[in-house]
């Protein structure tokens, strides 16, 4: 059976990938699952579910090689201001360890001339993966529905959602669907060599998001558009680092201009199920968070 390493295994996407693969392993449907983590204590729920933990950091080449040793596939997830250099280190370690395949979780419409630094960094990463000649699947995730969770307090206290995308429509996606697509890419060779844009079922603006949340809560929720720069400035006041705040501003400006106004059918093609709608996300994730506070 094939061993799979998941980097970023304690994150929103990586944890679901690791837990799903571990459940498959427990049912006799897959090989070993290894979580590459910085902090084993934070990853304790993964270990309890049967994920083997290997501690390390992308800055530590020896820890990467040790984590990847004996693996067939690496689900490569990186984030933050050095996401490209982290990924480059992971790609080189995978080659050195004899890894056959990389499933890369990338960003929407990744390109070296994209509108955000994250987009541009992921564009470089994708080029490196292709140049190295490894089997690969590249999954580009649209705007995460989970980003709306930053508005839990304002929804609860004011009945308002603040965001910097204006009237722009966005094919936003639940990260659970990105994880499900990644699991499918691990388990099948049908997608090898492909670059796939993952979206939700419809492109919607935040007025529609607010309406969906309001229907589930049973009270009015309204969207208050703010300038993209104000969205970044607010994030900084809440402790977000400068790079992330800048990228948020860049994404908001791009989405407001219509950059994210599209959908695809790739989630259903990979996972076998339709992507979750904003109504699903509101009912299953967002509204319970609002009521739980």
Which DSSP string do the residues of the chain spell out, in sequence order? ---EEEESTTSHHHHHHHHHHHHHHHTTSS--EEEEES-TTTTHHHHHTTPEEEE--TT-HHHHHHHHTT-SEEEE---STTHHHHHHHHHHHHHHHT--EEEEEEETT--TT-SSHHHHHHHHHHHHHHHHT-EEEEEEE--BGGGGGGGHHHHHHHSEEEES-TT--B--B-HHHHHHHHHHHHH-STTTT-EEEE--SS-B-HHHHHHHHHHHHTS--EEEE--HHHHHHHHHHTT--HHHHHHHHHHHHHHHTTTT----SHHHHHHSSPPPPHHHHIIIIIHHHHHH-
Average pLDDT over residues 120-136: 97
Q: What is the pLDDT of residue 1?
A: 60
166-223 pLDDT, tens digit each = 999 999 999 999 999 999 999 999 999 999 999 999 999 999 999 999 999 999 999 9
pLDDT score recorded for residue 31: 85
pLDDT at 30: 80
Q: Is the pLDDT of residue 11 over 90?
A: yes
State the average pLDDT over residues 76-81: 98
Average confidence score pLDDT of the chain: 97
Residue-level pLDDT at 26? 87
Task: Determine the pLDDT at residue 254.
Answer: 99
pLDDT of residue 293: 62
CB 178 within 8 A of CB 105: yes
pLDDT at residue 29, as a whole number:
83
pLDDT tens digits, residue range 22-64? 999 988 888 899 999 999 999 999 999 999 999 999 999 999 9
Which residue has better confidence, 145 or 1?
145
Q: What length is written for the chain?
A: 293
For each of the domains in the chain, give its residue range(s) and CATH number, in order of start: 4-141 (3.40.50.720), 142-173+199-262+272-293 (3.90.25.10)
The whole model's pTM is what?
Answer: 0.97
């Amino acid at each position: 059976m094939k061993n799979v390493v998941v980097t970023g295994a304690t994150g929103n996407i990586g944890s679901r990938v690791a837990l799903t693969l571990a459940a498959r392993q427990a049912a006799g449907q897959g090989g070993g699952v290894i979580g590459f983590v910085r902090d084993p204590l934070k990853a304790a729920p993964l270990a309890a579910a049967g994920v083997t933990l290997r501690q390390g950091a992308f800055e530590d080449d020896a820890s990467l090689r040790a984590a990847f040793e004996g693996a067939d596939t690496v689900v490569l997830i990186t984030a933050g201001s050095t996401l490209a250099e982290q990924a480059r280190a992971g790609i080189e370690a995978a080659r050195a360890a004899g890894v056959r395949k990389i499933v890369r979780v990338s960003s929407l419409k990744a390109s070296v001339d994209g509108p955000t630094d994250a987009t541009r960094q992921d564009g470089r990463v994708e080029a490196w993966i292709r140049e190295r000649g490894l089997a690969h699947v590249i999954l580009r995730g649209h705007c995460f529905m989970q980003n709306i969770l930053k508005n839990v307090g304002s929804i609860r206290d004011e009945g308002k959602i603040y965001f910097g995308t204006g009237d722009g429509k966005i094919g936003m996606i639940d990260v659970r669907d990105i994880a499900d697509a990644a699991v499918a890419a691990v388990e099948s060779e049908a997608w090898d060599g492909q670059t796939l844009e993952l979206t939700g079922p419809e492109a919607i603006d935040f007025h529609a998001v607010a309406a969906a949340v309001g229907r589930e809560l049973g009270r009015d929720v309204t969207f208050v558009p703010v300038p993209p720069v104000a969205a970044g400035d607010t994030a900084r006041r809440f402790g977000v680092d400068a790079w992330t705040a800048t990228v948020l501003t860049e994404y908001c400006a791009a989405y407001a201009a219509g950059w994210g106004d599209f959908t695809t059918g790739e989630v259903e093609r990979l996972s076998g199920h339709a992507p979750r709608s904003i109504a699903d996300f509101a009912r299953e994730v967002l509204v319970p968070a609002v009521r739980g506070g």
